[in-house]
Homo-oligomer: A and B are copies of this chain.
Amino acid sequence: MDLLELIRSRSSIRTFLDKPVEDEKIALILEAARWAPTGGNKQPWRFLVVRDKKKQEQFDPHFKQPWITDAPAIIIVIAAPFDTWEKYDELDHMYIQDVATATQNMLLMTHSLGLGAVWVGTFSRKEIRKVMNIPKEYLIQGLVSLGYYDKNGATNYHGEAIPNQKDRPRRPLNEIAFDGSFEKPWKVMPKE
A positions within 8 Å CB-CB of B: 2-4, 6-8, 10, 12, 23-24, 26-28, 30-37, 39, 41, 43, 45-52, 88, 92-94, 96-101, 103-105, 107-109, 112, 119, 121-122, 132-135, 141-142, 165, 168-171, 173, 176-182, 186, 188-191
**A46 and B96 form a contact (CB under 8 A):** no
With A96-B100, A186-B30: A52-B180 Cβ-Cβ less than 8 Å: yes
- CB–CB B121/A97 < 8 A: yes
Given A3-B6, A96-B96, A31–B180 Cβ distance below 8 Å? no
Q: Indicate if the CB atoms of A8 and B35 lie closer than 8 Å.
A: yes
What would be 28 A-B contacts, judged by CB atoms less than 8 Å apart? Answer: A3-B3, A3-B109, A4-B31, A4-B109, A7-B36, A10-B37, A12-B37, A27-B173, A30-B177, A30-B190, A34-B171, A36-B104, A37-B107, A37-B119, A39-B121, A41-B168, A43-B170, A43-B171, A46-B176, A46-B177, A46-B182, A48-B178, A48-B181, A100-B100, A101-B103, A104-B104, A132-B181, A133-B182
- The minimal Cβ–Cβ distance linking A27 to chain B, given in whole angstroms, is 4
A97 touching B142, Cβ below 8 Å: yes
Chain B residues, Cβ within 8 Å of A170: 34-35, 41, 43
Question: Are A97 and B96 also in contact (CB < 8 A) when A32-B3, A46-B178, A104-B104 are?
Answer: yes
- With A30-B186, A100-B101 already in contact, the answer to whether A24 and B180 are too (CB < 8 A) is no
Enumerate chain B residues within 8 angstroms of A7, measured Cβ to Cβ.
32, 35-36, 105, 108-109
Min CB distance A85 to B, Å, is: 14
Q: How far is the CA of A104 from the CA of B103 in the complex (A)?
A: 10
